[in-house]
Amino acid sequence: MDIAGHISQVNWLAVTVATISAFLLGGIWYSKALFGAKWMAEIGLTEATAAQNNMKLTFGATFVLQFLAATTLAVLIGNQSTWYIGFHSGAIIGVLWIATSYGVTYLFEQRSLRLFFINAGYYVVCYSVMGSILGVWPQSAPN
């Protein structure tokens, strides 16, 4: 596999938009209006301990990690994709790789099913959205 060749065909604008979508979705998903309060209760996080977090570092590192994930997804689905292929690729990754990995970890950590659905659900939706964005945007032309 020619990784450099695949990366050279990545549409960086699409990757950036997919990254921003994942970042924004996380903000909504883990907000108090949606699952934030339940998520905090499940992991034992309080407002006081959350306030002690270095948010610049957390948000900055999150953005970088989401950018790497979006880039990898763009390389995986390739430059001849459609929104449909991107959506299905993202959904399959979210359900069959990420959610199953969370499932194994959560079984051994004895975490709740509620927490599993909150965290795994985010990634299923996140990768489905990122895949749709990456699939609908044409990739750069090969060199």
SS (H, E, C) 74-136: HHHHCCCCCHHHHHHHHHHHHHHHHHHHHHHHHHHHCCCHHHHHHHHHHHHHHHHHHHHHHHH
* pLDDT tens-place string over residues 54-71: 999 999 999 999 999 999
pLDDT of residue 84: 94
Tokens describing residue 86: 């991107």
- The yes-or-no verdict on residue 87 having pLDDT over 60 is yes
The per-residue pLDDT of the chain, averaged, comes to 92
Q: Please give the model's pTM, rounded to 2 decimal places.
A: 0.90
Domain ranges in the chain? 3-136
